[in-house]
Amino acid sequence: MQSLFSSRITKLDDALSNQIAAGEVVERPSAALKELVENSLDAGATTLRVSIREGGVKLLEVVDDGHGIHPEDLRLALDRHATSKIRETKDLFAIHTWGFRGEALASIGAVSRLKLSSRHKDFPVGREIVCEATQLKDAKEITRTVGTTIEVSELFFNTPARRKFLKSQASETSACAQTLHRLALASPEVSFEFWIDGKKSFHFPAVKKTEERVAQVFREAFNLEIGVEELIPFSKNKPDASVHGFLLPTKYFIPSSRGIFLFVNKRSVKDKVLQQAVMTAAKEVLFGSAYPQLALYLETSPESVDVNVHPTKSEVRFRNSSQIFGLIRSTVEEALAKTRPAMPEDISFPSPSTPMAAPSFSFEAPTHFHQKADIEQEVLSPPALARGPQFLGTLKNTYLVCQDDEGLLLVDQHAAHERVSYEKLRKQRLARTESAQLLIPIIVEVPERSADLLEAELGKLSDLGLELDRSGPTQISVRAIPPLLLRGDGTPRISFSKLVKELAATMEHENAPDIVADEVKKVMLDGLASESCHGSVRAGKSLSPMEAHHLLAQMDQTDFAGHCPHGRPTTLRLDWRDIEKMFKRIV
């Protein structure tokens, strides 16, 4: 094909190469906004005011009270590869600031009209420059407070193609808001104010504790009335990484991953390893019925994570990604175990002589239940009765009616029993490595390279009871399987040759052994769920008060008691306050 251009090579001029780079860093207004706010945070700002107009395309403005820019550096700040944050290569492997590439402002400046005004903390006056598509227009001295103001107007005015790719004004606005939510979650000590088209959208005052910011952001982003005290904290430390964060109670869960906020060394990231670790943990508990909502902060030494993978720095690469995967997954799983929406943690079972004090009126239990329960309480072991709500009676042979300090509860006896048996089975079976030897091994053909990779990971699978062997250059044989992969009648729940082929196919993936182990576990858990379902009390079967007491006490000791293994709720709760409101005793 004949080229329109000559075949000689020429160097692109600065303006054009800045525009090309801008395509990577500032693909849309929210990306430019992220860069501006990160610069303010790097300058030690404690108060930020962000304003946008028309989705950020007309205007993006960030006003900060940081240390400002030296008057002689103002022009330099807009130059490519000009930065005050790193000086030599070794700094690149230990980044402590949000920015370090020295190209954000140059990129934004190349595709907008930009006004930069700043007063450095050591100077009595400030300076302002105006720049239009990298052409410096104006520079003058001005009076202003210490700090920096950047106004970016007419974003992409000189790159109409880029402008065409923007979404609706509403979605660009919401992308800007989401970007600020993430930045705010990473810097609770900074006050964030956000204005959209001249109207104040939100204000997060500076707070001392991360959980206070988490509550502020979730209240704003998802319109929830959640209090700090409702958040479930979690944390775990390992020698080379630690993780902490806050999980929302299950009643606030929404069917979207928008409420999963992940941070690595405070940087908000979209990382597959982390995301998958959270979802894997959630799947075991919630069975895909909902996504967990949480803010999770991973801290690891800057040397063990590379943030210089992508121009927007939202992707990271870990040196030890499978350890990170395991750490996040187990931490989130333990946090989810603490979410028992319907069961308050520290209620003691009322003894017959001291009836539970209900707030302003009491709920009388049918006397025959009381009497029977009194006799039988003596035979129940003390720990089983130590906790749990008070059983009052059964409706339609299906729902247990109970009360506790906070209100009235209806418990679906089948769903509750299912969860109790499921957790028991899960703990027993997953803890033990059982495997059933096959009389005749199943031989599966796979590509040689996959067989090599798979061979190296066989130990992980045999921990789960799945014993595979390399039986030829392109052959893997299945010798023993975990009994949980068999149905009650001994037929397999899955096709083993398909499983091995899938294992082989995922081997190239970085976390292959974990993904594979998870897949095997999931099939086993599905099996458990149906086993515990069949073994559980049916709705419609009447339980004796003692059986009911016992079930309630067990529930209180069981992880994930709020939902059955299929994701249905086990308990409905009506707080005394709500009841009183309904009867108009209070307003």
User: Could you say which of 18, 21, 33, 35 contacts ligand ATP (CB under 6 A)?
Assistant: 35
By a kind-dependent CB cut-off of 5 to 8 A, residue 102 interacts, out of Mg ion, ligand ATP, none, with ligand ATP
Contact status: 85 vs ligand ATP (CB under 6 A): yes
Using the contact rule CB under 6 A, the part of the chain among 62-70, 216-224, 474-482, 497-505 near ligand ATP is: 62-70
CA distances from 203 to 50, 206, 229 (A): 10, 9, 21
Nearer to ligand ATP, 64 or 211 (CB): 64
Residue with tokens 């606005």: 173
Q: Per CB under 6 A, which of residues 129..188 are in contact with ligand ATP?
A: 148
Contact 60, 139 (CB under 8 A): no
How far apart CA 65 and CA 313 sit, in angstroms, is: 24
Cα–Cα–Cα angle for 509, 300, 66, rounded to 5 degrees: 120
By a kind-dependent CB cut-off of 5 to 8 A, residue 64 interacts, out of ligand ATP, Mg ion, none, with ligand ATP
How far apart CA 409 and CA 406 sit, in angstroms, is: 9
By a kind-dependent CB cut-off of 5 to 8 A, residue 101 interacts, out of Mg ion, ligand ATP, none, with ligand ATP
Contact status: 295 vs ligand ATP (CB under 6 A): no
Residues touching Mg ion, count (CB under 5 A):
3
Alpha-carbon Rg for the chain, nearest whole angstrom, is 30
Nearer to ligand ATP, 74 or 415 (CB): 74
Packed helices 496-506 and 448-455: angle between N→C axes, nearest 10 degrees: 90
Contact status: 388 vs Mg ion (CB under 5 A): no
How far apart CA 127 and CA 141 sit, in angstroms, is: 4
Contact status: 404 vs ligand ATP (CB under 6 A): no
How far apart CA 545 and CA 85 sit, in angstroms, is: 69
User: Could you say which of 46, 84, 169, 308 contacts ligand ATP (CB under 6 A)?
Assistant: 84
By a kind-dependent CB cut-off of 5 to 8 A, residue 507 interacts, out of Mg ion, ligand ATP, none, with none
- Nearest approach, Cβ of 50 to ligand ATP (angstroms)? 12
**Nearest residue to Mg ion, by Cβ distance, number only:** 99
User: Could you say which of 43, 517, 537, 561 contacts ligand ATP (CB under 6 A)?
Assistant: 43
Packed helices 512-535 and 413-431: angle between N→C axes, nearest 10 degrees: 140
How far apart CA 71 and CA 123 sit, in angstroms, is: 8
CA 296 to chain centre: 6
User: Could you say which of 48, 95, 104, 453 contacts ligand ATP (CB under 6 A)?
Assistant: 104
* Contact letters for Mg ion, residues 81-110 (x by CB under 5 A): ------------------x----x------
Contact status: 211 vs ligand ATP (CB under 6 A): no
- Nearest approach, Cβ of 80 to ligand ATP (angstroms)? 8
How far apart CA 454 and CA 428 sit, in angstroms, is: 28
**Nearest residue to ligand ATP, by Cβ distance, number only:** 99
Task: List the alpha helices (DSSP H) in 473-544.
Answer: 496-506, 512-535
Nearer to ligand ATP, 70 or 338 (CB): 70
Following DSSP, what letter does each residue of 566-584 receive, concatenated?
TS-BSEEEEEHHHHHHHTT
Nearer to Mg ion, 78 or 425 (CB): 78
How far apart CA 417 and CA 343 sit, in angstroms, is: 15
User: Could you say which of 18, 19, 39, 117 contacts ligand ATP (CB under 6 A)?
Assistant: 39
Nearer to ligand ATP, 36 or 279 (CB): 36
Residue with tokens 């927007």: 312
DSSP state at residue 467: E
Short-list 74, 85, 78, 49, CA closest to 126: 74
Cα–Cα–Cα angle for 572, 576, 580, rounded to 5 degrees: 120
- Nearest approach, Cβ of 107 to ligand ATP (angstroms)? 8
Contact 369, 391 (CB under 8 A): yes
- Nearest approach, Cβ of 144 to ligand ATP (angstroms)? 13
Short-list 539, 533, 284, CA closest to 420: 533
User: Could you say which of 102, 341, 344, 441 contacts ligand ATP (CB under 6 A)?
Assistant: 102
Partnered with residue 135 across adjacent β-strands are 132
How far apart CA 524 and CA 232 sit, in angstroms, is: 29
How far apart CA 69 and CA 353 sit, in angstroms, is: 73
Q: Within 10 A of 484 (CB to CB), how many other CB atoms are there?
A: 24
CA distances from 494 to 426, 480, 527 (A): 19, 14, 11
Using the contact rule CB under 6 A, the part of the chain among 48-56, 102-110, 363-371, 393-401 near ligand ATP is: 102-110
Nearer to ligand ATP, 105 or 281 (CB): 105
Environment class of 120 (CB within 10 Å of its CB; exposed 0-12, middle 13-18, buried 19+): buried
Contact status: 231 vs ligand ATP (CB under 6 A): no
- Nearest approach, Cβ of 181 to ligand ATP (angstroms)? 20
Short-list 303, 296, 283, CA closest to 91: 303
User: Could you say which of 77, 226, 476, 543 contacts ligand ATP (CB under 6 A)?
Assistant: 77
Nearer to Mg ion, 42 or 423 (CB): 42
User: Could you say which of 34, 49, 101, 267 contacts ligand ATP (CB under 6 A)?
Assistant: 101
By a kind-dependent CB cut-off of 5 to 8 A, residue 84 interacts, out of ligand ATP, Mg ion, none, with ligand ATP
Nearer to ligand ATP, 102 or 344 (CB): 102
Partnered with residue 243 across adjacent β-strands are 236, 298
- Nearest approach, Cβ of 314 to Mg ion (angstroms)? 14
Using the contact rule CB under 6 A, the part of the chain among 61-69, 368-376, 457-465, 531-539 near ligand ATP is: 61-69
The two beta strands, 294-300 and 260-264, are: parallel
Short-list 210, 222, 174, CA closest to 295: 210
Using the contact rule CB under 6 A, the part of the chain among 76-84, 322-330, 347-355, 571-579 near ligand ATP is: 76-84
* Contact letters for Mg ion, residues 39-68 (x by CB under 5 A): x-----------------------------
Contact status: 533 vs Mg ion (CB under 5 A): no
User: Could you say which of 103, 271, 412, 423 contacts ligand ATP (CB under 6 A)?
Assistant: 103
Contact 128, 340 (CB under 8 A): no
Interacting residues toward ligand ATP by CB under 6 A: 35, 39-40, 43, 64, 66, 68-69, 77, 82-85, 99-106, 148
Interacting residues toward Mg ion by CB under 5 A: 39, 99, 104
